[in-house]
Amino acid sequence: MPNPAFYEGREQALVKHSFIERYLRDQLPKVASFGSYAFVDLFAGPWKSRCPQFSDTSFGIAIEQMRAAKRIQKSLGKDVRMTAHLVEKNNFAELAAAVVGIDDIDVHIYQGRAEDHAADIHRKIGNDGFRFVVIDPKGVPDPAYFADLIRAPKTEVLINFMFQFANRFAHTDKMPPLVNWLSLVAPDRDWQAELKDLTRQEREDNITNMARGALAKMGGFRFAPSITVDEADADRTLYKLIYLTRHELGLKVFRDAQSLALGVQAAIRSGRKAEKRRDVSGMNDLFAAQGTVDHSERSAQLMERGRRAGKKMAFEIVRESGAGGILWKDLWTQVLDAWPITEKDLAWECAAWKRESKVSVEGWGNSRRPGDHHRVIAV
């Protein structure tokens, strides 16, 4: 996991980078069969980096994980071409210095605006290999500028949707690009007027779902789950990390990385709240210890609600599938698409159902958990 010592005052970046590191660690071995892998960061920075090796930046983490994966593949007799394409407008000199000496993967750097280089990067990568595109701007850019880059086959995307900006302007005409691309999912509805009558949470859910749907439609993606990144000291959403993938294995990797990232966020926010209570009372707090999670913290609650709801949904699907049952792969795909639960947690729940004679699982045998080809049938 990224070193928390480098993230004081920018704890939200630690949540984001914990996700990216875990995602890349788990995803890179799965895409090695494509022969080439490209990492694209359209707003690379570096921003407020405190680590000399830039391991507290998205591109630094990605390069480190790519180099490690390349070494492993080489030891297995496979030569996987790894490339990084990094775009930066303001801190280009620092970016250029950061990648000096990297010779085991190809690093291409571009100075200027992301929208001016996206099409060129798309052409350079081609359509044969796998690409992971990170779009992490300061504001809310028009995704149409990057459409060709993310529409390519074998592409997965992580977009930082700056919710606070979007929430402030979504009901106005002050940000036409934002209104235009959100309208992709509701072209015939006056959704801006509808926002005015919603509660704070309903408004957040509505805007987020529109953003997810519009991005998925724009790139032809099957899944578009998101992570809520909160302010460190308040129960308010700062931004949403929206992940785009066309493959259920991408969804599986996302939920694992999301679970880790939300756990990091819960620990950070629990600690900050405990420090505030200690400052007021003058007494030490149970949750002041680093890494200790207060289970009333909203990220922790979100994970717990997701696990409960996901398990309930899964059992209902199995029951409704009748005598023919449902393939395990089809079951976990539906549930992970709907709720923040990992396939591993769902598999342990299925094992419990089997022990309690609530389900039978064709072909399971003596394995500890079901396989994708096993069929789950309600008893």
Average pLDDT over residues 77-96: 95
DSSP string, 329-347: HHHHHHHHHHSS--HHHHH
Residue 198: inside a domain:
yes
Name the band, by pLDDT with cuts 50, 70 and 90, for residue 279: low
pLDDT for 273: 78
Q: How many whole angstroms separate alpha carbon 98 and alpha carbon 53?
A: 7
End residue of a domain, out of 227, 246, 265: 246
pLDDT for 90: 94
Look at the pTM and tell me if it is higher than 0.85: yes
Residue 50: is it exposed, middle or buried by C-beta count within 10 angstroms (0-12/13-18/19+)?
middle
Does residue 288 have a pLDDT over 70? no
Q: Strand ranges (DSSP E) for the chain?
A: 36-41, 81-88, 106-111, 130-135, 155-161, 226-230, 237-244, 326-327, 359-362, 375-378
Structure tokens at 311: 């398990």
Q: How many whole angstroms separate alpha carbon 61 and alpha carbon 70?
A: 14
Judge if 322 and 199 occupy the same domain.
no
Least confident of 244-258, 263-277, 347-361: 263-277
End residue of a domain, out of 188, 220, 246: 246
Host domain of residue 317: 295-378
pLDDT for 142: 86
- Mean residue pLDDT of the chain comes to 93
What is the count of structural domains for the chain? 2
Judge if 239 and 308 occupy the same domain.
no
Q: How many CB atoms lie within 10 A of CB 351?
A: 17
pLDDT above 90 covers a percentage of the chain that reads: 79
Name the band, by pLDDT with cuts 50, 70 and 90, for residue 291: low
Q: What is the CA radius of gyration of the chain?
A: 22
Name the band, by pLDDT with cuts 50, 70 and 90, for residue 1: confident
Judge if 185 and 57 occupy the same domain.
yes
Q: How many whole angstroms separate alpha carbon 158 and alpha carbon 81?
A: 22
Residue 272: inside a domain:
no
Residue 123: CB partners within 8 Å, gap ≥ 6?
Answer: none
Average pLDDT over residues 73-83: 92
Name the band, by pLDDT with cuts 50, 70 and 90, for residue 284: low
pLDDT for 283: 62
More confident residue, 255 or 9: 255
Q: How many whole angstroms separate alpha carbon 102 and alpha carbon 86?
A: 14
Does residue 32 have a pLDDT over 90? no
DSSP state of 172: S
Does residue 276 have a pLDDT over 80? no
Q: What is the dihedral sign for C-alpha 102, 106, 112, 118?
A: negative
